[in-house]
Structure 1
């Protein structure tokens, strides 16, 4: 069978699935492409859900990966509202209600889902999550009508929603189990900066606390009770305590799963006909020499091109540095690289930290592993070159703004 006669199936109709279909057609593949998604909406980008769309700065139509006609024009069979029930690897069949779709190559872009709380009141009216478009619209509607919001979780989503709420003049309390927000992602030095940012906008930020109950009256949220008995009033509660990869189909199909679907640098699973990309993929990174799973937009954007190439029989590796960004109040930030949470690092600042216009670098063994640029722009390329060089760097020179960044690589 020639490649042009083959049928490829993509399970997951998010950004990664849409970009994979685009990459396949862009590479000249003229076999069948079927994209199966359980949401009612065509593929869209997720960052606006907690940023511009929530702030009322963006239009709903702007979030979609492709125009509505794109799938028909490129002969992509997009099946929305379709739940995949199982994968039969022996028969190369993706099972759906009432039938199945056969494949020669299969790409899993099933993404992740929010972690939920198993405490009293967790299903009450007024408990919110933010992952899908409908969630964002519900949060936006809530911010338009309430005066007090409580956020459980001090990670990226929790802080971005807190910022949107404050800009909507909603009083906000943020509760985190760590003493500082973003502690695992950024460490104490940067966590303190984000804590100061939110407190300067009158967010009641509390760290090192645990929620034992979401309190209710007549089935509706009234606030929370902490483990120490403290009660905090709120009209709505956003739960933002992380996400879990959607690996059920892969596990049931006997694929290797370990904090995501395990794939090599070419995004292949241990089945040569099955690939995975995006939030669900735990991919081997050639530069880092280990498997990592990154729940951010850049992977959903870039990994599908590599997966598509290898589905077509090429030998390509995904070696892009992890990247993510956030916008909160007047703070814009980009992050490049990877910091192993279990490894000691030295943090070097370059610029004006007090004015929140700086770059911070994470060094281990004298080498830059990652960097964050805050309200400092057009530095991504030299930062990435610096990380990729893996050469020892003089910390004093790195901290000196008069020492050009591109001179280090």
Structure 2
């Protein structure tokens, strides 16, 4: 391969570039990104960047020295509009194209929005640097009341940051116990309790019916969130954190199979052997269970890059993706960490600390007594020890 194009400039795309060079690829390497900013790390957007404790320079994934070392051509602020696999090119929205022998799809996704809320003043999502800049400015405009729709990690992190700024915060979630499908009810309850312990109001089973708005200039401004039971939660700012939609529309008709993401085999190779997918957009097949998975996690994006690159350079079947299942979040001064692949039916044992104190480590075990996962809250050192000694990564 003389030229490889990476489409997508977040961590999955950058790690793919690094993996290509580490594997010995010395050809032309072009990274295309629709974001006008140089590649940056997303996790700080809901935490340190949002509260102003870190700036844009601190979250950059590449500096000029990296550009030189990777010999990376950056095409930023331009969207990929079509993949012409037969012609060996990525067609861009500005009318230009990138001729490539191999393509890495790392286009991630766009934030889901509540229907009918686009253009309403005071309604925010948090996916890009520009999103974070806009939200950060809004949070400093007076003393706004904040409502957050969605109590997943993003919603919880934004709630934590807003409380750190001294703001009144209400989190709304349609489930009876957020995070329970991923962590099990006992551990999920400990995460939910963090909100109350730090003055955040959490309303579960809260079905959002719409927004309360008032005229503002030529448009509308939000003043609250209307719930299915007829009540309204007053809010000057509404942050919607209900997941993402994979960016796959530009791949229609390309020969790449789409299924709520880009479908790949267990090595992250698409139906086209010279096209691989990594990060939030990749839905890979688990050969052992004949199931498919798509993970929206920072760690997963990095782990996938080396596997996808090995198969792109060495041919399909050169490597198989075995995710570690490691995820983390920072909320209210606590580090929450999960490793492994526990099931909601697994037994949970507290192996260090006390749940009541908000600092503990728990072990998940299946019916055979095998450790399937480790969870830690506020205790990274002990979590790391149990992760190393108790959890065996799939072969």
Give the structure-1-normalised TM-score: 0.88
- Cα deviation, 1:133-160, whole Å, max 9, x if unaligned, reads 1111112112222331000111111110
- 1:377 alignment counterpart: 380
Give the direction of change, closer, same or farther, for the CA distance of 1:210–1:344 in structure 2 (3 Å limit): same
SS at match of 2:64: coil
Output aligned runs, 1:65-144, within 5 Å. 65-72=61-68, 74-96=70-92, 97-119=94-116, 121=117, 123-144=119-140
Match of 1:360 among 359, 362, 365: 362
With over 3 angstroms needed to count, the CA separation of the structure-2 counterparts of 1:381 and 1:255, relative to structure 1, is farther
Is 2:125–2:241's contact at 8 Å kept on the other side of the alignment?
yes
Unaligned residue ranges in structure 2 (runs of 5+): none
Bigger shift: 343-352 or 45-54? 343-352
For the aligned residues, what is the CA RMSD? 2.0
Partner Cα separation in structure 2 for residue 132 and residue 102 of structure 1: 28
CA distance in 2, matches of 1:182, 1:147: 27
1:322 is aligned to 325
Give yes or no for contact 1:294–1:322 (8 Å, CA) kept in 2. no
Q: Distance in 2 between matches of 1:8 and 1:136?
A: 31
SS in 2 for 1:252: coil
Which of 334, 338, 359 aligns to 1:335? It is: 338
Contact 2:273 2:312 survives alignment (8 Å)? no
Does the aligned pair in 2 maintain the 1:321–1:384 contact within 8 Å?
no
Q: Write the distance in 2 (CA, Å) between the matches of 1:291 and 1:386.
A: 26
Offset at residue 382 of structure 1 (A): 4.0
Query: May I ask how many residue pairs the two structures share in their alignment?
Result: 383
Q: Give yes or no for the alignment of 1:277 onto 2:310.
A: no
Q: Give 1:257 shift.
A: 2.4
Structure 1 pair 41/69, CA: closer, same or farther in 2 (3 Å)?
farther
Q: 1:65/1:287 Cα in 2 relative to 1: closer, same or farther (>3 Å)?
A: farther
TM-score by length of 2: 0.91
The answer to whether the Cα contact below 8 Å between 2:335 and 2:380 also exists between their aligned partners in 1 is no
TM-superposed CA distance for 1:88, in Å, is 1.2
1:277-331 deviation line (CA, Å, top 9, x unaligned): 1111112457877432111111222221222222221612222312111111121
Work out whether 1:205 is the aligned partner of 2:202. yes
Do the aligned partners of residues 258 and 364 (structure 1) sit closer, same or farther apart at CA in structure 2, a change above 3 Å counting?
Answer: farther
How much does 1:130 deviate?
A: 0.3
Partner SS for 2:87: coil
SS in 2 for 1:150: strand
The answer for the alignment partner of 1:407 in structure 2 is: none
SS of residue paired to 1:344: coil
User: What corresponds to 2:391 in structure 1?
Assistant: 387
Aligned to 1:195: 192
In structure 1, the partner of 2:175 is: 178
Segment of structure 1 superposing worse, 377-386 or 129-138: 377-386
Residue 42 of structure 1 contacts residue 68 of structure 1 at CA under 8 Å; is this kept in 2?
no
In the aligned structure 2, how far is the partner of 1:348 from the partner of 1:251?
47
Displacement after TM superposition at 1:33 (Å):
0.9
SS state of the match for residue 326, structure 1?
strand
SS of aligned partner of 2:266: coil
Q: Distance in 1 between matches of 2:265 and 2:389?
A: 24
Shift of 1:381: 5.7
The alpha-carbon deviation at position 67 of structure 1 amounts to: 0.3
